[in-house]
Amino acid sequence: MKITIIGAGNMGGAIARGFAAKNVFAAKDITCCDRSDATLDGLKKDVPGIGISKDNANAVKGADIVLFAVKPWILPSAVEEVKSALDYKKQLIISIAAGVGLDKLAELFDKDGQKPQVVYLIPNIAVEVGAGVFFYCSNTASKENLDLIQKLFGQVGFAKQVEEKQMTAGTALASCGIAYVFRYIRANVEGGVEMGFYPKDAQEIVLGTIKGAVELLLAHGSHPEQEVDKVTTPGGITIKGLNAMEEAGFTNAVIKGLKAGK
C-alpha cells in the first residue's frame, strides 16, 4: 500500500515520520510533497528511502491513499492542482485541514459529478513518536476504508471515529490540547526552578510525574478525582496547593481555553 502526503510541514512531516518509524508504511511507499527544499531534505535525512516530490499531480498517481496536510486556506488550490490526476475509483482521500467539513470537502473534490471517498481527520503532533490522537469522520467512505483508517492510525496512537459535530471539540482536546499540556509542563518547570531545582532537573521530575499520572489512570480506568483523593491528606499540603490553583481559576481557565477555539 502506498500513501502520498501533500504538504510535508510540521503535521504532514510528523505523520510521515510516525508511519515510517512504526513500519505502518515502508519508507519507499511514502511520498511527501512540499514547496520547500529544506523541508523535503529534512525528511529525506530523517527517513532514508522516503519519496519526495515538488510535483503534486504526478506524486498522487499510483497512491492508494492521498492525504492533504495543508492549511485550510491552501486546501482549495492544492485540490485543484491534483484533482485531474486523482482516481476516485481506487484512491481514498484524507484531509486534515481543520474546520473544512465534509460538505465543503465534497464540493472541493467534485469532478464532473464524481465524488471520492473522503475522510476528515484531525491528528496531533505526537504521531511522530507513535503517540498521536486522531479523530475522524466520513459520510462517503466504505466500512472497509473506515476500518483501514482505524488500523493505520491506531498503530501510531489512539484513533476514534466520531460524528462530524464532534470534530471541533476533538481538535480542541487533542490537536490544540497538546499545546495546552506543554504550557502546563512549562509552568510546572518554572515553579520547580523558583523552588530551587535546575531547569533540566525540574523538567525531568515534571515529565516523570505526568507520565506516572497518565499510567495510573490508564491502568485503573479511574476518574482523575479518585486518584486525587488518594493523595490529599486532610490538612495536608496537596489540598492546599489544589485549592490555591482553583482560587487562581485553574479549572475555569482550562475550560475557557478549550472553548475559545470553537
Answer yes or no: do 214 and 142 share one domain: no
Domain span holding position 11: 3-166
68-84 confidence digits (pLDDT tens): 999 999 999 999 999 99
Question: H or E segment at 246?
Answer: helix 237-247
- For the chain, the domain total comes to 2
Pair 31, 146 in one domain? yes
Task: Render pLDDT for 203-249 as a digit per residue (tens, 0 to 9).
Answer: 999 999 999 999 999 999 999 999 999 999 999 999 999 999 999 99
| Calpha distance 193→221 (Å, rounded) | 33
How far is the C-alpha of 198 from the C-alpha of 259, rounded, in Å?
Answer: 35
Q: Calculate the average pLDDT of the chain.
A: 96
Question: pTM of the entire structure?
Answer: 0.92
Q: Evaluate if residue 152 carries a pLDDT over 90.
A: yes
pLDDT confidence bin for 261, thresholds 50/70/90: confident
Same domain for 156 and 26: yes
Same domain, 21 and 133: yes
Residue 125 and residue 211 in one domain: no
Task: Give the C-alpha separation, 167 to 220, whole Å.
Answer: 28
In a domain, 254, yes or no: yes
- Return the CATH number at 209: 1.10.3730.10
Q: What pLDDT is recorded for position 124?
A: 96
**Cell 529544506 found at:** 38
Looking up cell 491552501, which residue turns up?
74
Task: Return the pLDDT at 115.
Answer: 86
Q: In whole angstroms, give the CA distance from residue 25 to residue 105.
A: 26
Task: Report d(CA 260, CA 82) in Å as an integer.
Answer: 34
Do 149 and 182 lie in one domain? The reply is no
Q: Are residues 121 and 209 in the same domain?
A: no
The pLDDT assigned to 113 comes to: 85
Q: For residue 114, what pLDDT is reported?
A: 86
Same domain, 160 and 38: yes
Q: In this structure, how many other beta carbons lie within 10 angstroms of the beta carbon of residue 192? A: 18
43 and 133 part of one domain: yes
Q: What is the structure's pLDDT at 112?
A: 86
Tens of pLDDT along 166-208? 999 999 999 999 999 999 999 999 999 999 999 999 999 999 9
Domain boundary among the residues 166, 197, 215 is at 166
The answer to whether residues 161 and 38 belong to one domain is yes
